Amino acid sequence: MLKKLKGIDLLRFANMLSPEEVCRKLRRRGFVALQARPKRVEGVDVRAYSTLERVLIALYRSALRVPVFRRILLWIGPAFEIVCRKSEHPPGFFG
């Protein structure tokens, strides 16, 4: 695991948040989460990786095709993506 790059502690300022926490923070700032999903790995040139890493990438891609595994990966996976838009009725709006 990479911990330092040119003497900078990369993990010092890391703040691990669940998708639910991110969605909650987005709502408080006037956004609506339209979709949350595990991070996709399309376009990755697997030839640059070791055999073990290629197998793991293939397993991850396969798991993304199965709805129950996709749901599990959203909560325990290494990364996720959230698509959102600005809310028509932001917090504090009473009109």
pLDDT band at 5 (very low <50, low <70, confident <90, very high): very low
pLDDT of 94 reads: 58
Closest CA to 79 of 93, 64, 90, 67: 64
Cα gap 6→18, rounded to integer Å:
29
pLDDT of 76 reads: 87
Tell me the average pLDDT across 76-93: 81
Q: Which one has a higher pLDDT value, 41 or 10? A: 41
Judged by DSSP in three states, 30 sits in coil
Cα gap 79→60, rounded to integer Å:
12
Q: Is the pLDDT of residue 15 over 90?
A: no
Q: Which one has a higher pLDDT value, 8 or 45? A: 45
